Amino acid sequence: MAFYHQSTLSTHLVARWLVLGLIALSVVECRRNLLFESYATYAAINCRKHTAFLTDFGGISDGKTSNTAVFQAAVQNLSQVADDGGAQLIVPPGRWLTGSFNLTSHFTLFIQFGAVILASQDAGEYPLVESLPSYGPGGRFSSLIGGSHLTDVVVTGDNGTIDGQGSVWWKKFNRKKLRNTRPYLIELMYSTQIQISKLILIDSPSWFVHPVYSSDIIIQDLTIRAPVDSSNTNGIIPDSCNNVKIQDVNVVSGDDCVAVKSGWDEYGIKFGVPTEQMIIRRLTCNSPNGSVIALGSEMSGGIKNIRAEDITAINSQSGVRIKTSPGRGAYITDIFVDGMNLQAIDSVFWTTGSYGEHPDLGFDSKALPVVDRINYRNVVAEDVKMAGNMSGIDGNPFTGFCLSNVTIGFGTQQENRLWNCTGVSGVSSNVKPEPCDVLADKGPSDCEYPPDPVPIDVLELNTCSFSTIG
């Protein structure tokens, strides 16, 4: 047995308590670090195993230094783990100037609150890319954020911002100083499993969100803003796409808020890929130079089975506008609209069979589009100029219109004719004011709306996360 002098014993006790205190302090510090480490969560089609921040690759957020090479290097580096659980690239708060860059598969671009991806106004930062085969020849600038032949790609955030700085492009376009199509903000081609969500998108040089030749697409929780006099700043343009959900989107723009397309004249006919199986839900639109939802005019691959519900608009040209022309061919069929609340609208129902505008002189004027089975129900509109301006094609009428439970009030600028109907036919029920004769036949109390959902509408998102400490 060991014996200690009192002073020696006291020294050993003090030392022991010091050691225990240091251990306890270490535990407290460890717990404190865990408490202060925070995680951001978000909903996505798939979560990622690997995480990196843009600053890991040398990004500079002063809004002046180009980060084009940084974004490109980050995506290229993270593409190496695509087959190992994928990666998420976090864009932290700051102003990140960049030109065009492409995404990769099994990848998430997450833009944090307070972060702004700032599009370069230098045309040299947007290399020219091949024309779209369903639209015919013609040069075009690459999009700010692009990608082709991808699987499982997510562009999302915590209401982070992508600013297209489009004013310089609008001025060049209006002055006819551009030979090539302006950049789009986001364009994903030949891809599947796409999600674009929870972002603020402003001032695109041209179209904002353009999925093309793609499928299984979710576009939701977006705020889209451009001046109402900016040319061709369409909001969302699904183009030759299948299985699409557009939901909870608020658009103010200089053109159509949602424009459904599928190729142009002989090029679209030859390419032959329709847009079909789509749900548009809780869309809010303000566009005095565009429609809330446009079908066409480039629809030469066909448009079918498009559903829209709970649509709100103020100060726009039309609720749903069908735009086509001889030369387009193909079809617009099985369109179902349930619930529109419209204020300050030029024409509630607008159908145009002579839209014109062709890519070249090679179109076949005998290629006539089929427009059939167009259903609108539960529509309320106020401060309207004209109830319906509906025209088909001479010798090729548009058929199968159904209007039910429609109430339209007029403003001080109402047209002399409340309805104009030529080359169309259909039925109606409980429509005020009474529609034109070709639509006045008594139809069902409710026009058709399919009970079964489109497949993408039943997909449940995963809850994903990352540590906010980079």
Distance CA 360, CA 326 (A): 13
Distance CA 28, CA 8 (A): 30
Distance CA 173, CA 220 (A): 30
Residue type, 167: S
Among residues 255, 334, 338, 346, the one annotated as catalytic is 255
What three-state secondary structure class fits 170? helix
Q: What sign does the dihedral 316-319-324-329 (CA atoms) show?
A: positive
Specify whether the CB–CB gap between 146 and 102 falls below 8 A.
yes
Specify whether the CB–CB gap between 259 and 292 falls below 8 A.
no
Query: 226-237 burial, b for 16+ CB within 10 Å, e for fewer?
Result: bebebbbbbbbb
Specify whether the CB–CB gap between 239 and 212 falls below 8 A.
yes
Q: At a CB cut-off of 8 Å and minimum separation 6, what does 178 contact?
A: 169, 172
Distance CA 110, CA 161 (A): 10
Distance CA 300, CA 331 (A): 7
Distance CA 235, CA 296 (A): 14
Residues across the chain:
470
Specify whether the CB–CB gap between 175 and 135 falls below 8 A.
no
Distance CA 69, CA 459 (A): 35
Distance CA 388, CA 411 (A): 15
Active site residue 203: no
Peptide bond into 7 cis (omega under 30): no
DSSP state of 157: E
For residue 247, which of 453, 103, 463 has the smallest C-alpha distance? 453
Distance CA 389, CA 457 (A): 32
Kindly list the catalytic residues: 255
